[in-house]
Structure 1
Amino acid sequence: MRLSEIKNILETVEGVTFRLPKGTYVLEHFHVTEVGVVTRNFIDCGGTVRKETVANFQLWDANDYEHRLKPKKLRNIIALSEKVLGMEDSEIEVEYQDTTIGKYGLDFDGKDFVLTVKNTACLASDSCGVLEKREVVEDQSCCTPGGGCC
């Protein structure tokens, strides 16, 4: 989800809820403690210089049990971040503390904002020798000791 998309959604929803990938919810008294720009400059394993920029939202569960973030308040936080930081219409990455700080993508299912799983990947698979995934053979009859297929 891009920054422009969340801003449009926040114009129409009555509440702000975030659902984790496994179906549980971020506690309703969460805070958005940061909205920012994260830029990552790096070289992939194939030697290509790359730059990635995301709009970063950090969610935090506090012991402020009466707190509820309203859509208008989140719109105001985003607007201030755009003005002060010069944010562009980037993809949103959400940080949330589980057993460690997790980084998630963001989607919307018509009711809840959904934190989506992000995965690592080789960005230079064509030049670094990573083999394509092989199809898994379901028929186990060929996999006998010494058969060479396993």
Structure 2
Amino acid sequence: MKTQDFFNILETHQDKTLQFEYTPNNFVSANYHITEVKHISVDSVDCGSQSDQWNETIVQLWESPTEVFKTKHMSVLKALGILNKVGQMKAYDMASELKFEYSNTTFHTAQLFVNDFVIQDNNLIFKLAVEKTACKAEELCGVPKTMVAENQESSCTPDGGCC
């Protein structure tokens, strides 16, 4: 999901509470805070020696241990206020990919992509998911579309043009 799409959804549903489902049927607790917004510029080189650049917006969610008693999630309106204040300080790249950084005592720290959103009762729920890593130079390096076995040796050779 692009940052602009996220803001559009929030603007449309300001009267809702804001929830995040980080794995199926597991939700960020009501005691969460938006603790940081990162405006990331990535400048990379892949295993096929191809360079690439893109921007990302990463919103960090943190559960306060002193507020575990909370049962009501943050309102969309409050989240918009926080995010708009950030945007006044450092402009968003609205075309950038949006991710959420999150962890708790049973879930490792991860940057999660937005797969979808749903409205349930008075809740706006963003469904988050981990995206698996992939070879970005599959064609250049000769990596088959489907690997036959997990332990299969790399198809890259020392003089094959990839790492």
TM-score range for the pair, normalised by the shorter chain length: 0.7 to 0.9
Matched residue SS, 1:123: coil
Contact 1:57 1:93 (8 Å CA) reproduced: yes
Q: What residue number does 1:105 align with?
A: 113
Q: What residue number does 1:81 align with?
A: 86
Contact 1:35 1:77 (8 Å CA) reproduced: no
**CA displacement at 1:6 relative to structure 2:** 2.0
Using the alignment, how far apart are the partners of 1:69 and 1:132 within structure 2? 42
Matched, 1:91 2:111: no
> Residues 33-76 of structure 1: CA distance to partner in whole angstroms, max 9, x if unpaired?
11121122110011111112111110111122347422112112
Q: What residue number does 1:147 align with?
A: none
RMSD: 2.0
Aligned residue runs from structure 1 range 1-150, under 5 A: 1-11=1-11, 12=13, 13-63=15-65, 64-65=67-68, 66=70, 68-89=73-94, 90-98=96-104, 99-106=107-114, 107-111=116-120, 112-133=125-146
Contact 2:110 2:130 (8 Å CA) reproduced: no
Contact 2:113 2:131 (8 Å CA) reproduced: yes
Using the alignment, how far apart are the partners of 2:85 and 2:21 within structure 1? 25
Using the alignment, how far apart are the partners of 1:104 and 1:59 within structure 2? 11
Contact 2:61 2:100 (8 Å CA) reproduced: yes
Structure 1: state its 5+ residue gaps.
137-150
Q: Which amino acid aligns with 2:97?
A: E
Using the alignment, how far apart are the partners of 1:25 and 1:78 within structure 2? 21
Contact 1:82 1:88 (8 Å CA) reproduced: no
Using the alignment, how far apart are the partners of 1:132 and 1:16 within structure 2? 38
Q: Which amino acid aligns with 1:7?
A: F
**CA displacement at 1:134 relative to structure 2:** 5.7
Structure 1 residues 41 and 88: alpha-carbon distance in aligned structure 2, compared to 1, 3 A threshold? same
**Structure with greater proportional strand content:** 2
Matched residue SS, 2:146: coil
